Amino acid sequence: MYLFPLIIFCNVMDDLDGILAKLLNIGSEFGARLDNVCDAISHSVILMFVGMAFGSICTTAALIAVAVVILRSVSRLDPATKPGTGSPTNELVRHVFFILLLSEQFAFDASPYLIVAFALNAITMILPWKLRFMIRGLTKSAVAIGLVNVALLVAWLVPNTLLFLAAAFIGTYLYSFGWALLSHFRPTVHSEPQ
């Protein structure tokens, strides 16, 4: 199956262009916008191919997720958009990667899990809150970002690590989402003036 190396390649390229632009000091507003559009196209193609492989309900969920990917990408073209909120589009692609790998290793039907991943990520991509604890969001240095990509490669090539790495990526995403929900809806205590 060519999908796994393709997802890893897209993830590496998504990270590499930003790292190189910063290291070589050649970043530009146009480059950042073009990167955003290219990522939206590549992620949308992957998501639609996966969705179509698992039936009409999964295709519909994938189509909704793709619409949100495009909406997020277009909204980020506006310089006034607040950066760093919601989940990145490639987070969904990583979740799809892990769900497909797990379903292949443990022989279960991936479609209900893909539908949940499409739905949850469609919600979190447009949230106006920061999701603080996702693995890729915590990595700032080029070495740490490289290790995230190596982890994807290891998960694919070393099956014994798959469960741990999938739990780490998906677990930190769910924890971040839960934390953001609780932080947003938690009542704030106002002290009474004396």
Give the pLDDT band of residue 194 (cuts 50, 70, 90).
Answer: low
What predicted TM-score, i.e. pTM, was given to this entire model?
A: 0.90
Least confident range of 32-36, 47-51, 70-74, 75-79: 75-79
* pLDDT higher than 80, residue 1: no
| Average pLDDT, integer, range 14-20 | 86
* pLDDT higher than 60, residue 90: yes
Give the pLDDT band of residue 84 (cuts 50, 70, 90).
Answer: low
Give the pLDDT band of residue 193 (cuts 50, 70, 90).
Answer: low
Burial 133-143 (b: 16+ CB within 10 A, else e): bbbbbebeeee
| Average pLDDT, integer, range 154-165 | 98
* pLDDT higher than 70, residue 190: no
